[in-house]
């Protein structure tokens, strides 16, 4: 086995994991998400307003019909009033007419409130309808920027994978299998050199005696840091 040949492989693996992290954390991703969210919320608001405007139109029509019914009833009572002479009947009709007047006035108030609301909604809708196309193009631009950032990282990842295949081809199968096994069990270094008397993986000092022992088992599965268990190049 030859542990030194694993060092460049580990470097490229490190680069691959950095690239995966970069791909997941692209600033363009947050921008694209935010632009889409702004567009979705404007569109939802637009739909909500359009629905409410439709409801108001229906309600106003209903009040208008009811108003015409009251008008007809009132006209009928007023014409009856002309031919009635008994005081009690006159008073009864007058009472009916004043009830109708009060009902009509409530209808008119309700209709006015609805028409006011409708006007505010129409203004809000007009503002939204101006902003939606802008939000749409911002969302498209942000999605395009994200796609291009992703394809740039993907190109780097593909290049790093090619490099990894090339490097792995130069490593003996046994060392490679051992490296993969150690790597799968740790998030820190799988293989390291001794740098200035310390393990390059965990930076713990390795005594001259320990180093002498390690040299005896160099490039074997036993050549490991006594502290972090990474493979040591000695
Ligand atoms: Zn170590």
Residue with tokens 């040949």: 5
Rg (CA), the chain: 41
Alpha-carbon distance of 109 to 142, in angstroms, equals 48
pLDDT tens digits along 186-223: 989 999 999 999 999 999 999 999 999 999 999 999 99
Q: What is the pLDDT of residues 4-14, one digit of tens each?
A: 999 999 999 99
Q: pLDDT grade, residue 109 (50/70/90)?
A: very high
pTM of the model: 0.72
Phi first, then psi, for residue 233 (nearest 5°) are -85, 115
Model pLDDT for residues 12-52, shown as the tens digit of each residue: 999 999 999 999 999 999 999 999 999 999 999 999 999 99
CA of 4 to the centre of ligand 1 (A): 16
The Å distance, Cα 233 to ligand 1 centre, comes to 11
**Domains detected in the chain:** 23-170 (1.10.287), 174-233 (no CATH)
Distance 9 CA to ligand 1 centre (A): 18
- pLDDT digits 0-9 by tens, 175-184: 999 999 999 9
């Amino acid at each position: 086995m030859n542990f030194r040949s694993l060092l460049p492989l580990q470097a490229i693996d490190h680069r691959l994991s950095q690239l995966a992290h970069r791909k997941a954390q692209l600033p363009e991703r947050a921008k694209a998400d935010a632009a889409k969210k702004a567009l979705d919320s404007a569109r939802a608001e637009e739909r909500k307003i359009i629905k409410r405007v439709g409801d108001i139109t229906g309600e106003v029509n209903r009040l208008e019909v009811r108003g015409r019914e009251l008008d007809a009833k009132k006209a009928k009572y007023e014409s009856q009033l002309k031919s009635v002479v008994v005081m009690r009947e006159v008073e009864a009709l007058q009472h009916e007419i004043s009830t109708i007047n009060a009902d009509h006035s409530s209808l008119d108030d309700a209709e006015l409130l609805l028409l006011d609301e409708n006007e505010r909604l129409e203004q809000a809708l007009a503002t939204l309808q101006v902003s939606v196309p802008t939000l749409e193009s911002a969302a498209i631009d942000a999605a395009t920027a994200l796609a291009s950032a992703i394809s740039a990282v993907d190109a780097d990842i593909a290049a790093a994978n090619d490099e990894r295949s090339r490097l792995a081809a130069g490593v003996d199968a046994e060392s490679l299998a051992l490296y993969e096994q150690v790597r799968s069990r740790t998030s820190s270094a799988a293989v390291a050199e001794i740098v200035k008397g310390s393990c390059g993986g965990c930076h713990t000092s390795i005594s001259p005696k320990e180093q002498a022992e390690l040299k005896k088992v160099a490039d074997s599965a036993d050549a490991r840091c006594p502290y972090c268990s990474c493979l040591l190049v000695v």
